[in-house]
Amino acid sequence: MIDINFLRANPDAVRENIRKKFQDKKLPLVDEVLALDEQRRALQREGDERRARRNALSAQIGKLMKEKNTEEAARVKAEVVENNERIAAIEQEAADIAEKLKKDMMAIPNIIADDVPIGKDDSENVERERFLEPTKKPFEVPYHLDILERLCGIDLDSARRTSGQGFYYLLGDVARLHSAVLTYARDFMIDKGFTYVIPPFMIRSDVVTGVMSFEEMDGMMYKIEGEDLYLIGTSEHSMIGRFMNTVLPAEQLPLTLTSYSPCFRKEKGAHGIEERGIYRIHQFEKQEMIVICKPEESAEWFKKMYSYTVELFVSMQIPVRTLECCSGDLADLKYKSIDVEAWSPRQEKYFEVGSCSNLTDAQARRLGIRYKTEKGNAFAHTLNNTVVAPPRMLIALLENHLNEDGSVTIPEVLRKYMGGKDRIVPKK
């Protein structure tokens, strides 16, 4: 949510930002917000004046009663009653306007960074850097589901019977490799100075609307029937929500946290061949990193965060590249975003395995996350980044470390988490 003071002073800049994100249907919101804001402030002024008048009248009644001027006192009392009725009406009207104003403000996208490439969708994202040179395998690389089945590492049929499409059982050494990746990622981030956290896996609606836009909420979140609770789509949701309506001591910033959680997503609209297997699923596990910092620190932390993901993948000898998200591919709360993509030897192209986002103060304004300054309280900046999400990580790892005999070499950094094993061999 952008600052109302910024919108008042720079309505044309807000309109231009909406156009850059190709959301022209939201342009009328700017004038609507300005009109609602003026109504709210006018009501505030009238309310203040009437409350001051009420205080003056109350003092006048006391004086008149002492003077035994009951007739005049009765007239003033009637004026007080009328004044109070108008104050009550003002407060109700102001509350209605404030609710509408908040809803409109939450629909207006955050101001994006000046250097964000302008484009309509993810097809216009811009490659920034590559790390490790992709190599072409001297043999045909099977689809990842076929690799998993030959390793006896997955059972989709049973999962369809128990849970439906988009779920799976991981088995044996593949399941162990999945856990090894998460454990390695946890230790990797702890070694970077991050505090390890296991958060709640369900959050209330006021947290959901604080961390994402309404469109994202509808497309991602599973609601618990009969409860004001949602299953998290990523641990960022509950990790940021932890600091809702708090004022943090400045000396505690930055807060650098890494969290493990299962994640639950509708994956609304997912389709196509790459949706088979474990590329797009309704339940997965993830290691996340979250930073809450002062505004002047967020640009530096943004670079550090996605570089950590790159470093993690490179340590497992998986080629990756960074891709800057264009304006039309940025979610409404995002100021800037970098995707990390891993190389797929089978497809001979890169695919997304993580995303790093700087949301500046957009989430903090929605959730009331502030920190103390010499001039008062200020909104913090929030950032989040995927350390690793093993389902997609497994695809990248299996394809890049697949051998011609069907075995998969385990990266050296993972072997201590695999009981010293250096490879997984096919059983079919």
Are residue 21 and residue 84 in the same domain, yes or no? yes
Total number of domains in the chain:
2
What single-letter DSSP state applies at residue 130? E
Are residue 241 and residue 390 in the same domain, yes or no? yes
Are residue 96 and residue 205 in the same domain, yes or no? no
Are residue 238 and residue 341 in the same domain, yes or no? yes
CATH of the domain at 233: 3.30.930.10
Are residue 100 and residue 231 in the same domain, yes or no? no
Choosing from 107, 140, 172, the residue where a domain stops is: 107
Residue 60 domain-assigned (yes or no): yes
DSSP per-residue string spanning 151-162: TT-EEHHHHHHH
What single-letter DSSP state applies at residue 402? B
135 three-class SS:
coil
Choosing from 78, 107, 136, the residue where a domain stops is: 107
Are residue 84 and residue 178 in the same domain, yes or no? no
Are residue 12 and residue 129 in the same domain, yes or no? no
Are residue 79 and residue 135 in the same domain, yes or no? no
Are residue 90 and residue 162 in the same domain, yes or no? no
Are residue 102 and residue 181 in the same domain, yes or no? no
Residue 336 CA neighbour count, 13 Å, CB half: 17
Residue 16 domain-assigned (yes or no): yes
Residue 116 domain-assigned (yes or no): no
Overall average pLDDT of the 342-350 stretch: 94
Helix axes 298-315, 172-191, angle to 10 degrees: 140
Q: Give the Cα separation of 66 and 55 in Å (integer).
A: 17
Residue 97 domain-assigned (yes or no): yes
Residue 269 domain-assigned (yes or no): yes
Residue 384 domain-assigned (yes or no): yes
End-to-end CA gap in the chain: 54
Report whether pLDDT(268) > 70: no
Kind and range of the H or E run holding 339: strand 336-344
Q: Give the Cα separation of 304 and 316 in Å (integer).
A: 19
Give the list of residues 6+ apart from residue 40 with CB closer than 8 angstroms, or none. Answer: 94, 97, 98, 101
CB count in 10 Å sphere of residue 123: 9
Confidence of residue 375 (pLDDT cuts 50, 70, 90): confident
Apex CA 260: angle with CA 256 and CA 266, to 5°? 115
Kind and range of the H or E run holding 81: helix 70-107
- % of the chain with per-residue pLDDT over 70: 97
Residue 117 domain-assigned (yes or no): no
Residue 381 φ/ψ, nearest 5 degrees = -105, 145
Q: Give the Cα separation of 363 and 252 in Å (integer).
A: 19
pLDDT tens digits, one per residue of 179-222: 999 999 999 999 999 999 999 999 999 999 888 876 777 778 89
> The tokens 């402030």 sit on which residue?
41
Report whether pLDDT(269) > 60: no
Report whether pLDDT(53) > 80: yes
Overall average pLDDT of the 56-67 stretch: 82
Task: Name which of 347, 417, 359 is nearest 177 in CA terms.
Answer: 417
Q: Give the Cα separation of 4 and 342 in Å (integer).
A: 40
pLDDT tens digits, one per residue of 241-250: 999 999 999 9
Residue 34 domain-assigned (yes or no): yes
Q: Give the Cα separation of 232 and 222 in Å (integer).
A: 8
Q: Give the Cα separation of 296 and 298 in Å (integer).
A: 6
Give the CA-trace dihedral at 408, 413, 416, 421, to 10 degrees: 20
* pLDDT value for 404: 95
How far apart, in Å, are the Cα atoms of 151 and each of 48, 127, 391, 393, 423?
73, 34, 15, 17, 11
Are residue 214 and residue 291 in the same domain, yes or no? yes
Report whether pLDDT(67) > 60: yes
Choosing from 107, 131, 152, the residue where a domain stops is: 107
Structural domain boundaries enclosing 390: 122-424
What's the pTM value of the predicted model, to 2 decimals? 0.88
Are residue 73 and residue 178 in the same domain, yes or no? no
CATH of the domain at 18: 1.10.287.40
